[in-house]
Amino acid sequence: MSVRKKIWGENADKISRLLDAIDPDLSRYIQTFAYEEVMARPGLDLKTRELLAVTALIALGNPDELKTHLRGALANGASERELRETIIHSALYLGFPRALGAMKVLAGLLDDRKKQGPPPAGGGP
């Protein structure tokens, strides 16, 4: 399975189309280089890579991309507790306003997931 599908889950096709609509060349770089080369490298598992991505996106202040990678972290084995601890830890280095914003994104994501009910058999984001 492609790394994009492991991270983006059922949203993979939608995200791919959105990226293509923004710019096909940039979309290709993001999907092939960022995901299928860098994110697929050996040495770190996807859960760890996603927790690192979450921290970087908190630093950058990108809530839409943060939500995507919070979902990806959950889909690749991170627990809600690990995400909360990652966000709290980021407050030390990135500031409380960024951590609070990230916690709000996580809360919204978890609320959406509760409303949708449990994932189908076999897992998924």
Residues 68-111: tens digit of each pLDDT: 999 999 999 999 999 999 999 999 999 999 999 999 999 999 99
9-60 confidence digits (pLDDT tens): 888 999 999 999 999 999 999 999 999 999 999 999 999 999 999 999 999 9
Token pair listed for 80: 């809600």
Do 59 and 26 have their domain in common?
Answer: no
Cα-Cα-Cα-Cα dihedral sign, residues 13, 18, 21, 22: negative
Lookup: tokens for 82: 């690990």
81 and 29 in a single domain? The answer is no
Q: Residue 16: its pLDDT value, please? A: 94
Q: Which domain range does residue 113 map to?
A: 45-125
Q: How many domains does one find in the chain?
A: 2
Report the interhelical angle of 63-75 vs 46-60 (nearest 10°). 160
Is the predicted pLDDT of residue 117 greater than 50, yes or no? Answer: yes
| CA 59/CA 117 separation, integer angstroms | 31
**pLDDT at res. 122:** 52
Residues 31 and 58 in one domain: no
- Collapse the DSSP code of 30 into the 3-class scheme (helix H, G, I; strand E, B; otherwise coil) and give the result: helix
